[in-house]
Each structure stands twice: as C-alpha cells, then as structure tokens.
Structure 1
C-alpha cells in the first residue's frame, strides 16, 4: 500500500497502524476479559454514526483547524451521548477510536487543499488490508468487520467533505409525540439485526410483530431515538386507523412545506408529499407507523425514496415477506433478562422468586417491568410480590386481541400496579386519590397515542396537585410521558386492564366518561390570543375526537350531548381557522353522533350544519348544499321555523347558494331570515345584524349596490354603537362597507374606512394575522383605484413579503398577493416587473390549482393583457384564445368573466389587424 513515487503515504501508514493496533488491543482484551464481540461491534457502530455526522459539519472542520490541541476534548463531548449507548466493557475501545479519529481528522483538515485525493481513494480501496487480522481477532464476527470497514469509509467521507466544502445538514424535522425509551431499556433479541437492517442495509420496509406488551413500540422508539440525533426527518405516525394515518400525514406534509389550498383534499396533499419524498435526493429518513391494525389502511400512504426507512408495529400475523416487508418477531424477554430486571430494579437478589414471577407473567416485558415497579414502590420483596400475584384473582380474564398469547397473571400484575398506586396515594395524600382516578379514567378513554399534558393539568383548579399526582403515576410506571414532553400516555394494555376492572361498574364508567368529556370541554379556542396556538389546539382536538371515533371502547362518549357539542364546536373552529380539510376528517364522527345520541338531537343538527360549513369552505359546494338543505328541513320539522338554530341553518344554506352563484335562491332566504330575526329578536340584536350583513353581501354579489350600501351603513352604525368600534364584528362591517363604497366609485369614503380597519387590526390582531393582511390588501386596492400607485405598491409589496414568509411562496393567498402586485406594477408602467410576476403566478397557479381552475383563468387572462400592453401581441392572443375557450367551457358563454375574455380577445385581434376575426367576436351574443 504505497503513495506516489512508490513511497508509503504517511496518512496511509498512520490509519493502518493506528486502527490495526486498536483492533489487536481489543482482541487481547476480549481474550483476557471476555468482552463480547457484539459489544465491540456496538462501539464501532456508535463511532460510525458520529463520523457520518462530522462529515457534513463545517463547525467541526473549523474546530479542528482553529483548536487542534482541544479537538479531542471537543470530539469526546460530541460523542458523550453515543458512549452511553455501548456496553461498559467496550468503553475503553470506544475511547481509543475517539482518539484515533480526532488525530486523523486534525491531520486531514489543514492539508486538505493540496492533498492527493486519488491517493486517499487508493488507500481506502485497500481497506481490507487495513483491517487485516480483525476476523481472526473477533472469531469470525462478520458484523464487526463490516462496522470497522464503515469507519474507514467514513474517514474518506470526512476528507471529501473538507475538499468539497460541504454545506451544513438540512433542516431537521421531528414529527409526532413518540413514547420515551424507558430508563434501563433492555436490549432485545434481534435488536442488533434490526439496527443493522435500518442503519447498515438501509432496509426500506421493516415490520415489528408481536403481542401487546412485548415492547414493539419501545424497540421502534429506540431506533427513532438514535435517528433523531442526526437524520433530517424522523416522523412518528399514529396508525390505529386510516383516519388517524391521514390526519398525521397531512399535518406532516404541512410541516414539510407542502402547499395545502383549503379546497384540495388531504389525500392529494399527502400524495404530493410522498411524491416529493420519493424524488428527493438520497438522505436517511425514518417514518414509524405505530400500532397498525389493518394493513389496508396503509394503501397509498407508505413512503418510498432513496434512504427512506419505514417501520410499522403491529400485532397482526401475516405473510409479511410476500407483502414486501422485512418481518422481525418481537417476543418476550428471555428468562435471564426477566430475572436480572426484577432483581436490579427492586434491589432484591432472590433469583428464585424472580424466576417464579417471570414464569407467571410469561416474561412479557410490560408485565415484568410493571411487576418490578410495583414491588419497588410497594416495598415488597420479590417473594412477597409473587405471593400477592399468585393469590390475587380477577373476576374475568382480560380480553385478548389477535396476536395476544400471555398468561392471565399479566392482567393481575397490571391490575395490582394501578391498585397499589391508588392505595399509596390515598394513604399519603388522600385528597389526590380522586385526582389520580380522574386522570386514569380520562387517559383510558381518550386517544391511545396520548393526551396533551397541559389539558390534564387543567382538570382541577389546583394544577400543582395534578402535576404531583402525574409525577407519582409516572414513577409507578402506570403512565409515561412522550419524548417531546407534550403528551401523557398510558400503555394500551394497561389502559385495557383499567377499563375492564376498575371501570367495569357502569357507574364508574359513566363518571370516567364525564372526566374525559370535561377535559375536552375546558379547552376554549377563543380565549387563546395566539393564532397558531388556536390552530394547534384545534388540531389536538381533532386528533382526540378522531381517535375516540376509531376506538370501540371510547364510542360511548358520543351518547353525551356535551361531547357532541364539543364535536360541533371543533368542526366550526377548524373551518374558521382555515383548516376545513382537517374538519372533514371528522365526517365519520358526525355520523357516529347521529347513531349514538339521536339524529334529531339539536347538537347533532349543529354538528351536521358545521360539517356542511366545512364542505362549503373546502369548495365542495354540492355536498355542502345537500347537507345544509337536509339540516334546514330537519331543524324546521323538529325545532320549528322560528327557532334560532333553524334560522342559522337557513342562513348557512343561503350562504352556500351564494357561493355557488345561485343568487336567485340565496337572496329570498337571506330576506326571509332578516325579516324573521327582526320580528323575533329585534332590529339591533347581533343575530339580526348578521342577517342584514349577509343580505347586503348577496345584493352586492348580484350587482345591486344601491340596496347593499344602505344595509352595510346601518350595520356599521349598529355594530359600533352596540359592540364598540374595535369589536371584530364591527371591523368586518366596516370592511364590507368600504368594499361597497369602493366598487361604487366612492373612493373618498372607502379609503378612510380601509385605513381605520388596517390600523385597528394591526393593533388588535398583530401585523401578520390573516385578517390584518386582508385589510392591508384591501387598502392597497383602494389606493390603486384612486391612482395613488406608490402607496398601493408599498402595501402590496409588504403583503407579498409577509405571505411568502408566513404561508410559503406557493400558497393560494401568496399567489393572490403576487397577482395584485403585478397589476399595480402594470398600472404604474413597470411592465417588465409586472410580466415577471404574472408569469410566475400563472405557472404556480397551473401547477397547484390546475389549468382549468377559475383563478388560473384569471392569471392567464391578466398575463395576456400585460403581454398586449408590452406590444407582445401574438403571445397575448394565444393566451386570450385559450382563456376564452376554457371560460366558455367551464363558466358558460354568458358568465361575466367569459364576456370579458371575449371582448379582450376581440380588441387584441383589432390591435393585430385581424378585424374580421374581431367582428365575429363582437357580434357573438
């Protein structure tokens, strides 16, 4: 192994001799002390991961150049968390590897510019010689050989990174609230094989199968924990049902930055996310689908791509190989692991008693772990615990699901665990026992993947007492916390035991339902000042309600009118906060409410009404109108025509008709509602003001400005007097009146109203709230109409910048801002800037919304006008022709937009000297 000129390269000699010496030394220690080969392999694995991280880290390169004397200390600090993952006996070997890597890193970095890369490649191509003797030292341990080979390869990557000046790793995304890896996590049989499949072979699809309580989720969490240190994407997805899968993947797509117009269904957004993942450059990425109950739920939702690994956990026993998955059976502890865990965690060395407990529990990890915790915190010896386990009995065995094959004593152990915890709390802090029961009640009925911890803290006025109780239950291993600290989780099997024992009495179960509903009921989205907090809490509620819908044991909650009221409110909040697609994931929940409560119950009707509103906001008008019509018919029959809920249903149906352009049907309903509310509630009641506002809007859409403006003026006056000048409803009334004035050409009256609205919304909501951006947009439009282009352009530019930053460059609202700024540029004669923005907007609109979407037609039409203004008449005509053809087919020949397209194409023909073609268009009816 020689460098140029036949002389041995010093670096080559250094790497070879240093690594070889350490391998020899490790072999000697192995022979003398009995260090297991897998322990050595584990040390090499951890160093391999560290090297991969360093290979793209410019900060580490700078550290080595600037402070070479301190670089080994720096590297030891960087590898401290890795060192904790290896066997104690292999720590000296890991320390030696750290020193060698530090030395070679320092040697490589300073001379990287003049270093002969070819020589390094030659050196590393012969790495088998470098690692010669390892196979003999480790007695044929092929895995360790592969790991050490990877060390040499990673040293090459370090040098390549230095010479290429690689950029920093991509932004890391950590999605989902996964369970923590338990303290003292017991290494499982097959764990090395799993880690090798994920980290070495890059196995794309792995399935962990086993009964509940076998530790599948803990094993997947251990993989995720290691990936989280370095991989750019690690996602933990709740996969109990397809609905939960879609909800989580949809939110993940949003986190990744996929544009999600509210009229595009979640499945389409997820498909775009998966396509992006599939076509992205190679990178290590992990997605865990936890608790898959039905493999069909994964159809069309499983990520693929270079470097993408997918792990699923399931109790299902299928022919996974033939289905394209690499299976790993997660069994129980081996007996020695069970005995060691019981003895170590309790401090009781009575191995025979530990063996008896393990035998009784079938070595099931969740039961053995819980038994150790119960014995420890109950101050029982292992012998005493075994006697209690043997003499306790349950009235009936715990129900088993597919894949479960554990002894009845498992149920007894989990029953004893929570029973003892409650007894201890009662003996020390009697007032906290009720808190503990209420927490366990709620956790056993709400979403199995966990409940936001801050919700639980609000269950009682004394949040400190709740926090202390949660801490006690965690110490007793009854519950656990997610790794991000956001959720509290009860193991699915522990939750089942609690339900089938403590909650087996109907009275206790009913009280548990009340606790669960109370936790959800206390969440008041409107009281949250921060817009993103409102959205996040609404997402949390949707997740909970969706899970409750899927969990058989939770569905009795739908019999409670208060729970269905929460469903109705959540549907409304999700829609109002711009997340109608999220609301639509609760469609099955609305159906369940009708079955469990009563299809004619007022809260069921409100849920259906709000679901229809979500359809409407998502652009699914046919479904919205159908549901609104049915709800209005039912409300009129059940509640009567003058009931407030009936009037709301009529109002919402009128709004759906209006959105669908069916103004002849919308206006009579609005007029009837205004008349009825004025008669029943009086002319100044807030609901009456809403009806007047909506009728004015319908008149406005129908071009009846003379009738719309007086209604808007009256509404603004009443809102200001009744609610105050800064109330959100007052701001909306002022906004509507300003728009009507503007369209009527009364700009001197419109502009002051727009200015006041922008000032108020900026002060009340903040400069970046969606409503503030709308007010700024409207004021800019009024300035533009008034010829005050410099002021208009400044506001349009600010809006485009804010929307691009907040929503992303391809969000539909961002496209609107870009389109409007282009129009202002065009009016100001800045035609080149206008055309560039119009072209970008048309490209994005075509890709995101589709070539035939009305917004795309408008973008194409306006780009044509800009081309025409720039003298690019042939390009303008081509776009006008396409727009007219699409408008005629999609909107109809007599739609105003179609008529405008026909007129502008005719004028373009005239400008091009094609008068005969122009005459034909002018003569078209």
Structure 2
C-alpha cells in the first residue's frame, strides 16, 4: 500500500482496518485515502487465508484487529481459496452474526454474493461516482464528513478506481482469473516507487508461457489509479513499437506534425520533463531484443515496465524480476477457477503434469472445464504428445504454447543455430536434470555432422548454452562432485517438460531417429556396469531417468540393452520395485517385437522381471514365468549351464515364497552344487547360492544348520567382496536372524545394532534392505527385553515401509505382524486387532488359506481375541491354526510347536486341563528334539505344561518341571529377563508367529 498520509485523528481514536483481496488493491488504497482525509487512522490487511484454513478461523483472526474491520466485498474476496457460497454463509453466521459492531463492509460488485453477507449491511459502491461513493463509505462507518478535508481531485492521492487515468492506451483486458504473485507484484511496485528519477525501469523476465504479460497487465490494473498516463506498447518489432510510442503524442496533447519520428521525439521529451504529468507508466511488452528497444527507453519521473524472455536486460540498467512458474497452491487455485468441476486433488494432478506453467494450465483447464474426460485420461493424452489438440485458447492467453515456442525457436536459429541443435539433443534426455557431462562425453564417432562442431568447439558450445540461458529456455546449476567419484556432479541443465515435448514435436522424423541414437549411445557409454555396488547407485539413478526419453528400448545395440538390464538390477537392489516393473514390462513388450520370443536377451530380461515381481509378493506369477524360462534353458543349454542355474535360482525363490520349502531346499542344493563345479567355491554366484540354501534351511525350522551356513557365507563375502558390500550386509541380517531364532538374543542384538548403523550409511534410511535390518533389530530388542526401544523402532519401520513400499508389500506385512504383536502386549489392543485383521486378510488374498503365513496370522489373531476376553472364539481359532500349520509344514516345525503352545493355553483357559496337558507334553517332546532342551520355545513349553499339570493336581511333577525350566531360562536369558520374570510369576507363556524372509 502507498505510505499513509499523516492523520489528523485524535491519537486515542481506534483505527479502521481495511480488509481487501489483492485483486482489489486500488479500491483499498482509495478507501484508505478518503478515510485519512476525514481524520481516521487506517490499517490495511490483505485477505488471503492459507489453503486449508477453515473460513471461521480466518474470520476470527481478522476480528482480532483493533477497531472496526471494513471488508471490501467483491467476487474475488469471496472466491479466494476458492471458497463456496455455502462455506461463506456458514462462517458468517458463526463468526460475524454476533459481532456486527466489529465488522462493516462496502460492496464493489454487482454480482450475487453469499446471502449471509447481508449481515454486513454493506454500502454499495459499484457503478456510482466518486463523490457518492465517498458519501456512502462515510455513512456506513458513521463518520461525519470533515468540511476541511482535501478534495478528491487535488492530484495528491489515489484515483477513484472506476475512473481510468486521463491517458490510457493499449492495455489488455484484465484477467479476472489472475492468481497469486502477490509478493512479486508488491516487490515491483515498491522498487519502482523507491527508484531515483530516471532509474525506475523494471524487467519481468522468464520462459515462454510463464505469465509475464499477465503479470504486467495485473500491475497496471492494480496500481494504475496512481498514474495519470498508462501506455501499453507491443515491443516485439522495432518499427511497430516506434509507431505505437509516437501515438502517445496526440494522447498527451502535444503539438507536433504528422511525421511519426517528430512525434516520437516529442513523446520522449515530454516523458523526460514530466509534462503534462509526472505520474506516467510505460509498459513495453515482449521486449525480447534489447538491442532494438533499449535506445527507446524514456527517462524522467515516471515508471517503465518491460516483459521479456531475454536476460540481457540486466546489462541495460533495469531492475530484473524473474517470473517463476506458479507455486503449487497458486496452480491449484487457478485451475479450480478455470475448471470448477475439478476438485483439489485433480487440480494438483494437472498442475504436476504441466509443471505449474500458467499458459498451459489456462489452456488445458479451459478445455477440461467443458469436457467429460477425467484428469487421468487427460494427463495420459498430454504425455502422448496430443496437447495441441486438447487446449482451449482464451483471450487471456491468446496464443498456444506450441505457437509461441515456434516463434522463439526461429529467433534462436537465426541468432545461434547451434543452440537449437543442442536443444534438440537435450530433448532426448529427461527434462528434469540433464548432466552436461553426459553430453560432452559423447563419443565423437556417434555424433551427427551438425553436432560435431558444437561438441568440439568450446566457444560455440558456450555461445549455444548462453543463448538458451538468455531466453530462459533452460537453466543451469552446478553440483559439487563428492569425495566419492562415483557420485554425480558437475553442471546440470534443467528444461521445462513442455519445452522438452514441444521441441521433440517440431523435429523432423529423420532427425528424431538420429538424435535418439546419439542419446542412447551417450547413456550406454556412461553405464557404471556394476549395479551390485552401492557406491555406483547414484550413477544408475542418474541414467535411469533418461531411458524413456532416449527411446532405449527400440535399440538393437548390445551395449544399450546391457544398460537396460543393469538399470533393472539396480532398481531391484535399491528397492525401486514399481519403477523397475514398469521398465521391465515395457522392455519385454518392445524386445519381443524387436528380437523375437526366444532371443537370449528375453531370458535375461525375464530373470530381472521375475526378481522385481517376486519382491512385490506375486510368487505364483513368478513361478509360472521362471518355469517357462528354466524348461527352455534346460532343453537348449543343458542343466549345468550358468544361465540355467540362474533361472533355477529364481524358481527356488518362488518355491520358498509359495511355502514349498522342501522343493526349494532340493533345488537350492542342486544350484549350489552346479555353481561350485562351474565357477568354484569363492565366486559370488556360488556364495549367493549358498545363502539361498541357508534361507531354505531356516524356513524348514533348521535354525542351527542355517546359522552355520550363513556364517560361512558372511565370512566369504567379506573376503571376496568387502565388509560394506550390500551382500555382506545382507548376510549380517541373516546371521542375526538365526541367532535370534535360536534364542541367543544378546548376540543377535549386538550383530544387528552394528549392521543397522552401517546399512544406514551405505544404503540409505529407506532402502528395503535397511528396513529389513531395522525390523530385525526391533525384534532383537524386543526379545532381549528392551520393549520401549523396540516399540518405537518397529513403529518407525512400519510407517516408512508403508510409505516407501506400500501397504501390501511382503516386507511391510512382516513388519506389520511384528508391530501388531507388540501393540497387543504393550500398546493398544484395538490397534493390534485392526492391524492384525488387515494383515490376515492380505495374506489370505495374496497367498491363500493353506499358506503358513496366512495360518500364522490367524494364530496371532487368536491371541488378540483371548486378550479381548473372547475366549471361545480364540480357542476355535487356535485349534484351526494348529491343524493348518501341521498340514502346511509338519508337526515338528517350530511354527507348529508355537501354535501348539497357544492351543494348549486356550484349552486350559476353556476348562480342559487334561487336553492341554496332553498337547503340552507332545509339544515339549517335539521341541526338545527339534530345537534342543535349552531353546526358549522348549522352556516356554515346560512352563506351560507345569501349569497344566498343576491344574490336574500333579504338583510334584509340575514343580520339578517348572524348576528345570526356570533354571534353563535364567541360564539362557538371565534371571532378570522379562521372560524369566514372567515365568517365575507363573504368567502363562505364548508364542507369536513371525513371517520369515524368503
């Protein structure tokens, strides 16, 4: 707002706070000026409540202002947000109805307002003259007119908003959907006001379509009442620009001849002298060629506002203001005004697709407003390049983006042709971040003639880059190279997605094919080659985003195809499962068409695809895929071929996921023998096979055998690879898991705590392997008795797993099972029940009722029901889980023994100690044989059996068994461990089912 005039009001008189939408600033300035002339103190409050703020809260905050709050009611004030009339009516009835003495209003619109605005008793100022408007304003506030007040037309204050400046020419129609930019408008205004005479020149610059002309237009309407002369000139071409400037002479009343050169000189002289007015504003729109415009800039007391794509105006003593794309909130608000049928989420989706570029938002939202097409369908259409067919050209943005870009591209081609060649090459990389290093390191033999000179001539390269920067076509940033030279660094080019798409669309087909090949070769040359090396993952991430833009899937080049396979391997290891699946599915379709169904590349690709699919838990689909591949390779290459063994490795993993553990063990042993014979014991492939065999042993409950094999694998991997290699770290998780399952909780915790710290450093906090490590640490802490720390860690891992991997991912379900069990005993029983039921439903849907994970989830749910007092249902469910687990994995598996422990407790609680004792004896016998006399599950079985025997009045046997178990627990876990203390207090033990890694 302009500086307030010194008030003549008594110091104690409360002020009037004028609340206005930025769009109506001119009205607020005039109202404030008139009130101050009549002795009132005035404060200004721009109305722009944050998105999501309830309207009641915003109005309540406004009521905190001192004195009367005068609201300048307009369509814009009501719609900001946007807000519906229903919201306004509810808020006004809640906040204002009982505080009418606090609020007053003037209305500057003739359109219908929310009915509840009647509470304001607003004075109608629209369509009346200045004197009448002033009278109504004062009357509404109960102010007696000051007979000594300065007159309206003294020239010292803002002009009445409905009266244009005396000279007004060429200004575009105001955009009633103009959104945001409040801070930028204010900055430009204050810089112009504070500039010294002759230096008040501002340039609004930015890329095509960013809304520079719209911003300049809004500036004119918002602040135009403070000028006597406003003259708008299209400055794209020098001659028409000079003629338009010359037309200002008769408008100013200058006495000149008809020749426009004479008129032009008279205009420049009049503006310099400030006669007939020193309050003038000249707007030069589209001044993209400073060399044609700079000598025409007038000096003097007035203001000059330029719009341009050209950053070179900084060399001509102008204040530079970059016009960025909309913020996301601005984009959403704009789209919802342009297409009212879209909700906030749809507006956000459209803004994301168009990267918040105002011109495209206007034209696409305008088309969507009258269409029944969904935003999903529309975005898909945009990504296919059909945007020229689905835009609506509005008066506010009268030129499509493609048209405006074609004009600029022609200008670039005339100035520095190499800049267009460089831009075309860049369009075959992803627009978000194009490493200059990739472009500069393209092998010379892969370059077409027009690019050879550009890449070999540093001067020409710099000229091309500078020209693109000058016209805001790209921006460039420098990124430091880290101490690890595998991390990306150097200069990065950024290009708006629609620039990228439009450049591609305007290229001839022949040139597209040629430039695509160059980009493919550039990416292949940059392939780091070792996706298992976590130090190289930043390089793979850098390349992965460019594969689609470069059309790599249509290439027959073996190096390009290897890059695709390496990126897929990286995506699998780094946890980018969704992106990897999309790439693999597209690649399978493209390569089958390109190479045929039985080409060796198809089998390579199928292996990576199956890995990604298996990681998401779709074991049935991967088994079908892997069997086809394995049968083909066995037939064509034999059973002892390396490709055949790799396919068999995948099938064994599928079998583990499907709980066909014996089959998986047999096949894993065969694979290990094959690799040992073909490549030796110390090859990484052999060690991977050894790891997989150990996993199969664990899933069969053979924890001691699994630990021994995992320890051998860990030591070999540390020696062959390195201690911080991701496979070495994975072996650490396996060793700690086996230790924990064997009841060696302290050892397991020690190993896993160190491993988690290294995982976070090497692989990052959200990598699936890091999440596995943290999950296992949470379970180690829980079993060790540190329940508070375990609960916090398990909760954090579950939240991150759901966010990173999704709620149905196998790892997320594993963590959810653990957290549900923790919540049942130490948190919220309701939360435990909700999570447990969700997990049980998902396992049932994904794996089927006969899978041990679905059965185990049922066993856990029975414990929740027992804790909730639903003992009959808990008993039925426990018995079903026991029977189901026996069928799934056999009577001696630890999972079956755990189900038996719980079922025995349910029998006891239901009043059948004989059946409980019978099951308990069998469980202790089998647990002793399977896990050993001192395993926590065996000892828990003895404690439970002692309780059943005591219920049968067999106290001597019960006491002896209990004493032996307590001694064992004290020895294995310690006398103060939670399990030992609980057993000593004769609290019945239970068993939680825990899904295992497959």
- For this structure pair, what is the TM-score category when the shorter chain's length is used for normalisation? 0.5 to 0.7
Structure-2 residue corresponding to 1:878: 873
Matched, 1:558 2:555: yes
The alpha carbon displacement at 1:716 in A equals: 2.9
User: Residues 873 and 908 of structure 1 are in contact (CA less than 8 Å); yes or no, is this contact kept in structure 2?
Assistant: no
Q: Are 1:453 and 2:453 counterparts?
A: no
TM-superposed CA distance for 1:441, in Å, is 6.2
Alpha-carbon separation, structure 2, partners of 1:64 and 1:443: 54
- Structure 1 position 885, deviation (Å): 6.5
Alignment correspondent of 1:495: 504
Distance 1:649 1:311 in 2: 39
- Residues 340-398 of structure 1, C-alpha deviations (whole Å, 9 max, x = no match): x9xxxxxxxxxxxxxxxxxxxxx9433333334444x2xxxxxxxxxxxxxxxxxxxxx
How many residues matched? Answer: 639
Kept after mapping to 2: 8 A contact 1:442/1:516: no
Aligned mates of 1:501, 1:631 — CA distance in 2: 38
Is the deviation greater in 886-895 or in 122-131?
Answer: 886-895
Looking at structure 2, the residues matched to 713 and 13 of structure 1 have their Cα atoms a distance apart, in angstroms, of: 75
Q: CA deviation at 1:631?
A: 2.4
Name 1:800's counterpart in structure 2: 795
Contact 1:131/1:149 (8 A) holds in 2: no
CA distance change for structure 1 residues 543 and 706 in 2, over 3 Å: closer, same or farther? same
1:663/1:698 contact within 8 Å kept = yes
Pairing partner for 2:392 from 328, 333, 336: 328
Give me the whole-angstrom Cα distance separating, in 1, the residues matched to 2:858 and 2:125: 64
Among candidates 839, 842, 846, match of residue 833 of structure 2: 839
1:198-277 aligned at under 5 Å gives the runs 225-226=325-326, 228=328, 230=330
Task: Name which one, 1 or 2, has greater alpha-carbon Rg.
Answer: 2
The answer to whether the aligner puts 1:129 opposite 2:124 as a matched pair is yes
Equivalent residue number for residue 690 of structure 1: 688
1:481 touches 1:487 (CA, 8 Å); kept in 2? yes
Q: In the TM superposition, what is the alpha-carbon distance from 1:129 to its structure 2 partner?
A: 2.1
More helix by share: 1
Query: Equivalent residue of 1:684, what SS?
Result: coil
Deviations 1:428-487 (A, max 9, x none): xxxxxxxx85x556435456xx36223665643999969846623515869545999744
Q: In structure 2, what is the Cα distance between the partners aligned to 1:131 and 1:649?
A: 79
Cα pair 1:232 1:283 within 8 Å, conserved: yes
Change (3 A) 1:762 1:913: same
In 2: Cα distance, 1:858 partner to 1:233 partner: 50
1:585 aligns with 2:552: no
1:302 to 372, 375, 388: 375
Q: Is the 8 A contact 1:667 1:698 kept in 2?
A: yes
CA shift in 2, pair 1:444/1:721, >3 Å: closer
Q: Structure 2: how far apart are the matches of 1:546 and 1:917?
A: 65
Counterparts of 1:780-819 in structure 2, within 5 Å, are 780-785=778-783, 788-790=784-786, 792-801=787-796, 803-804=798-799, 811=807, 817=815, 819=817
Q: Secondary structure at the match of 2:659?
A: coil
Counterparts of 1:613-628 in structure 2 under 5 Å?
613-628=611-626
Between the aligned partners of 2:178 and 2:123, the Cα distance in structure 1 is 7
Aligned to 1:471: 465
Structure 1 residues 850, 649: CA separation in 2 closer, same or farther (over 3 Å shift)? closer
Name the structure 2 match of 1:518.
Answer: 524
Match runs of 1:76-225 below 5 Å: 116=101, 129-133=124-128, 180-182=207-209, 225=325
Given the superposition, is the C-alpha separation of residues 767 and 61 from structure 1 closer, same or farther in structure 2, using an over 3 Å criterion?
same
CA distance in 2 between counterparts of 1:318 and 1:370 reads: 17
How far apart are the structure 2 equivalents of 1:226 and 1:705?
59
CA contact (8 A) 1:651 1:691 kept: yes
1:811-851 residue CA offsets vs partner (Å, 9 max, x unmatched): 5767755653564577xxxx463635523533664798788
Q: Residues 609 and 649 of structure 1 are in contact (CA less than 8 Å); yes or no, is this contact kept in structure 2?
A: yes
1:789 Cα deviation from its structure 2 partner: 0.8
Residues 561 and 603 in structure 1, CA contact (< 8 A), matched pair in contact too: no
Instruction: Return the match for 1:570 from 549, 567, 572.
Output: 567
* 1:130-177 deviation per Cα after TM superposition (whole angstroms, max 9, x unaligned): 3243999699xxx999969999xx9xxxxxxxxxxxxxxxxxxxxxxx
Q: 1:653 aligns with which of 651, 659, 665?
A: 651
Change over 3 Å in CA distance of 1:673–1:727 after alignment to 2: same
1:610 CA drift (Å): 0.3
Distance change >3 Å, CA 123–CA 611, structure 1 → 2? same
Could you list the runs of 5+ residues in structure 2 that have no partner in the other structure?
A: 1-12, 31-44, 70-75, 77-95, 106-115, 134-160, 165-171, 183-205, 219-308, 310-321, 337-341, 355-359, 443-454, 478-491, 923-998
Equivalent residues of 2:875, 2:903 under 8 A apart: yes
Give matches, 1:266-665, under 5 Å.
287=351, 302=375, 328-329=392-393, 364-375=403-414, 377=415, 421-422=417-418, 439=422, 442-446=425-429, 450=431, 452-454=433-435, 459-460=440-441, 468=462, 471-472=465-466, 474-475=468-469, 480=474, 486-487=494-495, 491-492=500-501, 494-500=503-509, 502=511, 512=518, 514-518=520-524, 521=527, 538=541, 544-546=546-548, 554=551, 557-586=554-583, 587-597=585-595, 599-637=597-635, 639-665=637-663
Aligned mates of 2:383, 2:718 — CA distance in 1:
58
| 1:712 CA drift (Å) | 2.4
Give distance in 2, aligned partners of 1:689 and 1:469.
54
Structure 1 unaligned residues grouped into runs of 5+: 1-8, 27-46, 72-81, 83-110, 155-178, 192-217, 237-276, 321-326, 342-362, 378-419, 426-435, 549-553
Distance 2:707 2:403 in 1: 73
Q: CA deviation at 1:614?
A: 1.3
Shift of 1:611: 0.6
User: Could you say which structure has the greater relative contact order, defined with CA pairs below 8 angstroms and 6 or more residues apart?
Assistant: 1
Contact 2:427/2:549 (8 A) holds in 1: no
Summarize the Cα distance change of 1:777–1:454 in structure 2 as closer, same or farther, 3 Å threshold.
same
Cα distance in 1 between the residues matched to 2:636 and 2:568: 22
Kept in 2, the 8 Å contact 1:909–1:915? The answer is yes
Contact 2:623/2:651 (<8 A) preserved? yes
- Residue deviations 1:733-776 (CA, integer Å, cap 9, x gap): 23323333433445565455435534544565567765445334
Q: Distance in 1 between matches of 2:793 and 2:759?
A: 16
Q: Secondary structure at the match of 1:667?
A: helix
Aligned partner (choices 729, 734, 741) of residue 736 of structure 1: 734
Query: Offset of 1:493 from its aligned partner?
Result: 5.1
